[in-house]
Structure 1
Amino acid sequence: MGILGKIFTWWDGATIGTSLFSARNGSKVGEDHQGNVYFEGGKDVHGNPRRWVIYNGPNDASRVPAEWHGWLHGTIEGAPESNLPPPRIWETEFTPNLTGTDRAYRPSGALEQGGRRQAATGDYEAWAPDGQ
């Protein structure tokens, strides 16, 4: 992305202003396995530390892992690496939000799949407020 893109776009990575603000007013706390960098600096109006993320790629909140989401929202104090239990065997790897992409889920009744829904099977019974 060119310099003009960095100045005027916020949806595809950090703008120049955000990058300068982060370098000047924040201290780097850590980095996740996707390359997103987390900062902390200053206080908000309630006296809590300000925390933010600079994404490595498109700005998509679903790219923030659960442990860092908890840190961003003040659920845990220190960096997640020092406050988390070891991963469980049933935990899966991160999957990005696929909404709006070619790999998004589209059921058989979706317009992209022809727009024809399956016929009702008769197993639906409407709710009645009087219980009859």
Structure 2
Amino acid sequence: MGILANIFTWWNGATIGTALWSKRNGSRVGEDYEGNVYFQGGKGIDGNPRRWVMYKGSNDASRVPAEWHGWLHHTFEEAPESALPPPRIWEKEFTPNLTGTPQAYRPSGAIEKGGKRQSATGDYEAWTPDAG
């Protein structure tokens, strides 16, 4: 189903139509360390150049690093590869949103962790309308 998936689905990456349109109407600006490719071409309704990303793998906006997000939204004009200052020692490495993946956080009462919640400690009293 590889070719059919590329023709008709957008959630597994770019469709064939989008990929062809990007190569024809845009110029490649750069690539991030995850393999996402960034393009620019044409003018938007606001007069700014149109910018977009072709994801490597699933389409998930949280996979766009902060520096490329700033470029996509015209926070700065230069591509991040040439315009960013060196990283500070206190900056953390970029991590994508892990929601919906096996690495997502699951508290002890989550179904994926067995669904067993801790027993109540007795310090909670339910509200009733008669308690007024």
What TM-score do you get using the length of structure 2 for normalisation?
Answer: 0.83
Question: Is the partner of 2:42 in helix, strand or coil?
Answer: strand
- Residue 91 of structure 1 deviates from its aligned partner by 2.0
Residues of 1 paired with 2:73 and 2:121: CA distance? Answer: 44
Task: Name stretches of at least 5 consecutive residues in structure 1 with no aligned partner.
Answer: 124-132
Partner of 2:80: 80
Give how far 1:92 is off: 2.4
Identify the residue that residue 35 of structure 2 maps to in structure 1.
Answer: 35
Match of 1:127 in 2: none
Q: Which residue of 1 aligns with 2:22?
A: 22
2:107 maps to a residue whose letter is P
TM-score where L is the length of structure 1? 0.83
Q: Distance in 2 between matches of 1:2 and 1:112?
A: 30
Give the % identical residues.
74
**CA 1:89–1:74 in 2, change beyond 3 Å: closer, same or farther?**
same
Using the TM superposition, give the Cα deviation of residue 2 of structure 1 relative to its aligned residue in structure 2, in angstroms: 1.8
User: Is 1:65 paired with 2:62?
Assistant: no
State the match for 1:119 in structure 2: 120
**SS of aligned partner of 1:40:** strand
Give the whole-Å Cα distance in 2 for the aligned partners of 1:2 and 1:64.
Answer: 25
Count matched residues: 123
Which residue pairs with 2:108 in the alignment? Answer: 108
* Gap runs ≥5 in structure 2: 125-132
How far does the alpha carbon of each residue in 1:4-49 deviate from its partner, in whole angstroms, 9 at most, with x for none? 1110110111110110110000011111111111000011111111
Alpha-carbon offset, residue 96 of structure 1 = 2.3
RMSD (Å), alpha carbons: 1.9
- My pick for the range that moved more, 107-116 or 31-40, is 107-116
Q: Residue in 2 aligned with 1:89?
A: 89
Q: How far apart, in 1, do the equivalents of 2:99 and 2:78 lie?
A: 32
